[in-house]
Amino acid sequence: MTAEPITVIGLDGGPLSAVAADAVRAATLLIGAEQHVSVLPQDLVTAPPSNRVRVGLVEDLVAHEGPAVVLATGDPGFFGVVRALRAGGLTPMVVPAPSMVQRAFGAIGRPWDDAAVLSADAQNLRAVVNVCRARSAVAVLTGPGAGPSEIGAALHGWPRMLVVVEDAGGPAERLSTVDAERAGWRDWRNPDLVLCLRDPDVVAASCWYAGGEPIPPPGGWALPESAFHHRLGVLPSMEVRAVALARLAPRPGTLIWDIGAGAGSIAVDCARLGAAVLAVERDPGQCVRLIANAAAHAVEICIVEDSAPGVLGMLPPPDAIFVGGGGPEVVAACTDAGASRIVVSLTGLDHFAACRDALVGGGYTVDGSQFTVSRLVQPDKGASQLVGTDPVLLLVGTR
């Protein structure tokens, strides 16, 4: 393995530092994309450039016997080439510039300590979009098949503005702001970064943890019933919701459907755990409560005021589904959505067999539990008592 120095230089369109200029001048191997090499002062470049950044980079550096320079955009240690070099056993010296994320947020005059930063490609686009749906500020380092057009097209129903950086670090670098739903109408030239913002003019409260409050949220999960505006007698108890959440597995990068959402207690709890949430509820009064509950807990939920199963075919594909109402017909329709988990809440046995059969017929393995919760009651005078709640059956389908 080579013992010759390897210097990784980050470029941001500005002049090179003295250290970076000396490294380029001494290099006998220069590796970088055309857009990076073209901005170097030509009187410094003595080695013929190679565009082997994505393929064969480590092998070329290991085989080379002289000092080498690798060019990158911004901070090469931030979702960058330094990771690939270290994984290949190489320890470079790094001369970073401000990252694209720093520069883009700086250009719009907004702090970025609350922003989630993601690296996207065609394989993880669905998870990336779900984080954009769930979070108010996201920076996406784009990849093939995961640019502003694809991200914007998937955000229908979630109000978002996109700030797009094209040709970052190059002579034609450009920053554009566009509504997410219009992003697909434009031709983008080398889009390297997308900022996805709920409202560019609103800044989140100060946080001690970069990227927003860590998961799980303060106060734990499965909030008590008193934390919600609700219609008496139609809210799942916190104990039942805790088990349902454990089976739904909401987390950043996932989309949860809450069908027959009611006042939205399941939807709110899922959103607090970092998932994107789409709630379907046909009762306008319950939709009002759902909006109030989402606002009270500072989460965003996309609400569809419509009936299942008719509307389900128009929704983006979920990772998990909670069915709080609608019966076997709705459960059967949900099995066509491709979710890996479906949790069905039943307050009686009338629909148990039909819902179970619908899950099995949809290719799911089914298990379940009945919950009868006895809560401790402590009157002002007298002994403590255990008071039972109405039983609830949770059917869980997995595949």
In this structure, are 392 and 291 located in the same domain? Answer: yes
- Please give the pLDDT value at position 202: 86
Task: Return the CATH number at 46.
Answer: 3.40.1010.10
- Please give the pLDDT value at position 73: 87
In this structure, are 147 and 129 located in the same domain? Answer: yes
CB 26 within 8 A of CB 67: yes
Residue type, 52: R
Q: For residue 1, what pLDDT band results from cuts at 50, 70 and 90?
A: very low
In this structure, are 272 and 393 located in the same domain? Answer: yes
Mean pLDDT: which of 55-69, 213-227, 368-382 is highest? 55-69
Whether 381 is covered by a domain: the verdict is yes
In this structure, are 92 and 108 located in the same domain? Answer: no
Encoding tokens for residue 346?
A: 């039943």
Whether 219 is covered by a domain: the verdict is no
In this structure, are 388 and 265 located in the same domain? Answer: yes
Q: For residue 292, what pLDDT band results from cuts at 50, 70 and 90?
A: very high
In this structure, are 287 and 186 located in the same domain? Answer: no
Mean pLDDT of all residues in the chain? 91
> Which residues are paired to 70 by β-bridges?
8, 31
In tens, the pLDDT along 238-266 reads 899 999 999 999 999 999 999 999 999 99
Task: Return the CATH number at 180.
Answer: 3.30.950.10
- Number of domain units in the chain: 3
Other CB atoms within 10 Å distance of the CB of residue 41: 11
Task: Return the CATH number at 258.
Answer: 3.40.50.150
If 0-12 CB within 10 Å is exposed, 13-18 middle and 19+ buried, where does residue 282 land? middle
Whether 208 is covered by a domain: the verdict is no
Whether 280 is covered by a domain: the verdict is yes
Residue 301: name the closest of 272, 270, 278, 274 by CA: 278
- Please give the pLDDT value at position 232: 66
In this structure, are 93 and 156 located in the same domain? Answer: no
Residue 245: name the closest of 290, 277, 280 by CA: 277
Q: For residue 35, what pLDDT band results from cuts at 50, 70 and 90?
A: confident
CA atoms of 390 and 372, how far apart (whole Å):
6
If 0-12 CB within 10 Å is exposed, 13-18 middle and 19+ buried, where does residue 92 land? buried
Strands (E), the chain: 6-11, 29-31, 49-50, 68-73, 93-95, 116-119, 137-141, 161-166, 174-179, 191-197, 255-259, 276-280, 302-304, 320-323, 341-346, 365-371, 374-377, 385-388, 392-398
Q: What is the mean pLDDT of residues 153-163?
A: 96
Domain span at 141: 102-197
In this structure, are 233 and 333 located in the same domain? Answer: yes
CA atoms of 380 and 100, how far apart (whole Å):
61
Residue 26: name the closest of 4, 10, 2, 46 by CA: 46
Encoding tokens for residue 142?
A: 């784009």
Q: What is the mean pLDDT of residues 72-100?
A: 93
Enter the pTM of the model. 0.88
